Amino acid sequence: MLFTRVYCNKTYIEQIVAYNSRMSLGYSILSIEDAPFDIVNQLLHESFQERLENNLNFDCASFTDAEFKEKSSAGNIVTVWEDDILVGTVFLGIQQRFSFFTCGFHEFLAVKSDNKSSGIGTMLQRVVVNIAKALDLDILLSSTAIPAISSVKWHKKNAFIPYKISSYEGRNYKSYNFIKPIRKGILVSLLVMITPLTLFVSKISNK
């Protein structure tokens, strides 16, 4: 049986607990201080091993437990468990502004190899969207390596819109930057801002 635990930074936990109760979501909400950083980090390493084998040097594939804890403690870690085994995780960080939008950053998505293509990633995404709504976020941001075909397809399948191509220091690949509207009614404003970039990126990505 699958169940969800969300480890929340103290800044956000009251809002998330209230929304979880109001919407009867049934998530187990815990403090980020209680997060099993070592177990989550181990899943990241296992999940991203394939990327390393394909010569894509994702930072999270080599985090120490201490580095992962430092990078994730300011946000919220979503986890899905099957009994006592962690089968999926994703991190939702909070950024104050993106242009005139309040946004969250979706990263470190990992699913246990035995559970891939079983809907765990989509389940994690639903939880992230609910947390984003609980925190009154306008949009979600994400990025992934252009050569990581399965990740690019997953983002598009889950309504992330590619709007920019970026290069990051220390990485041997270029990345798509994605944006996903959360707040109702924001899509039109969002498309006005990003449409020229989106058309350009979509043209490239579909080649």
**Where are the domains positioned within the chain?**
2-205
DSSP state of 59: G
What order of strands is seen across the sheet that includes strand 85-98? 28-31, 2-8, 76-82, 85-98, 101-111, 139-145, 174-181, 161-167
- Which SS3 state, helix, strand or coil, does residue 168 take? coil
Kindly give, in sequence order, each residue whose CB lies less than 8 Å from that of residue 167, ignoring residues fewer than 6 positions away: 174, 175
pLDDT of residue 7: 98
Which has more pLDDT, 125 or 183?
Answer: 125
- Which SS3 state, helix, strand or coil, does residue 77 take? strand
141: which 2 tokens?
A: 């941001």
- What band does 124 get if pLDDT is binned at 50, 70 and 90? very high
189: which 2 tokens?
A: 């404003």
Among candidates 127, 153, 151, which has minimal Cα distance to 140? 127
pLDDT at 203 > cutoff 50: no
108: which 2 tokens?
A: 């470190």
Q: Provide φ and ψ at 139, rounded to 5°.
A: -145, 165
pLDDT at 46 > cutoff 80: yes
- Which SS3 state, helix, strand or coil, does residue 74 take? coil
pLDDT of residue 197: 47
- What band does 89 get if pLDDT is binned at 50, 70 and 90? very high
pLDDT of residue 152: 95
Give strand ranges (E) for the chain: 2-8, 28-31, 76-82, 85-98, 101-111, 139-145, 161-167, 174-181
Which run of H or of E encompasses 189? helix 187-205
| In contact, 56 and 83? CB cutoff 8 Å | no
Beta 76-82 vs 2-8: how paired, if at all? antiparallel
Among candidates 184, 182, 178, which has minimal Cα distance to 197? 178
**CATH homologous superfamily of domain 2-205?**
Gcn5-related N-acetyltransferase (GNAT) (3.40.630.30)
Q: Provide φ and ψ at 99, rounded to 5°.
A: 55, -120
